[in-house]
Structures are given as structure tokens and as C-alpha cells.
Amino acid sequence: MLFLAQPSPISSGASTSLDPAPFAAVAASAQTIMGWSLIIIGSSVLALLQRSYVRSCSVIVRLIYLLFVPGWLFLALSIYSGTRVQGVYLAALFVSHPDSRSLKFTINSDFADQIHNLRYGLLCFSLWLLVYLLWWIFTTEDLTSK
């Protein structure tokens, strides 16, 4: 019973522990963005593999599909940055004496990189969609025979 009256190192004075709640919020957001990125990658691969959409006979017009490559690259980088955010969150949880300033800087930097890469990936797919729609609206090709 005597040991209960003694102050524990955690509850006495200045605490060296780090509040994990903000890190958990950023990690949850990063996980959501990773899920979006995976869905977009899967959807774009499915769009390439299926044949029920209207395709141009012109090779020049079909070159717009090359926009998928940088889109996939940016989404893969977004997923990578998201895994780094998860790693910082785990470090905040399990390191006994974390450097809070360094962890905050790293998680903010990685999360910003994740968002930027997602935006660039979405920009690539948006450009593809815009060009595809413009081609589809203004084409003079006979699309009924396909």
C-alpha cells in the first residue's frame, strides 16, 4: 500500500510523454487518402482493361492514355507518403522519449507531400477526362460501327 502513495514518474511534474491524439487524427486522414489513391489506381486500370467504352482509331488521340502513367506515379507517391505518416504516428506511440518537434515536423511534411501528390495525380486523370470528353463531343469519327 505504501507504493501507491509515492508519485509515479509519469504523473509528477513535467511529463515527457507526447499527446498521441493529434498524430492519430493525421494518421487516420492519411489512411483515408491512401484508400482513395488505391481506388483511383484500381479504377483507372479497370478503365484500361475493359472494352465497353468508345475508343478512337487514331493513335494520336489514344496517346492521352499516357496521362495515366504520371497519375499512377503520383498516386503511388501519395500512398508512400501515407505510410510514412503511419510510421511517424507509431514512433510517437512507442518511442520512450520522442522528439516532439521533429515528429510534428515530419508528420506535417509527409502529410503535405501526400496531399500534393494526390492532387497532382488527380490533375493527370482530370486532364485525361477533359481531353477524352472533348474528343468524344467533337469527333467526326464513325463511332456507331464499333
For the chain, the domains span: 20-42+62-137
56: Cβ–Cβ under 8 A, 6 or more apart, which residues?
62, 135, 139, 141
Q: State the average pLDDT for the chain.
A: 85
pLDDT, tens digit (0-9, with 9 covering 90-100), for 74-101: 999 999 999 999 999 999 888 888 788 9
Higher pLDDT, 105 or 51: 105
Q: What is the DSSP letter of 145?
A: T
pTM given for the model: 0.81
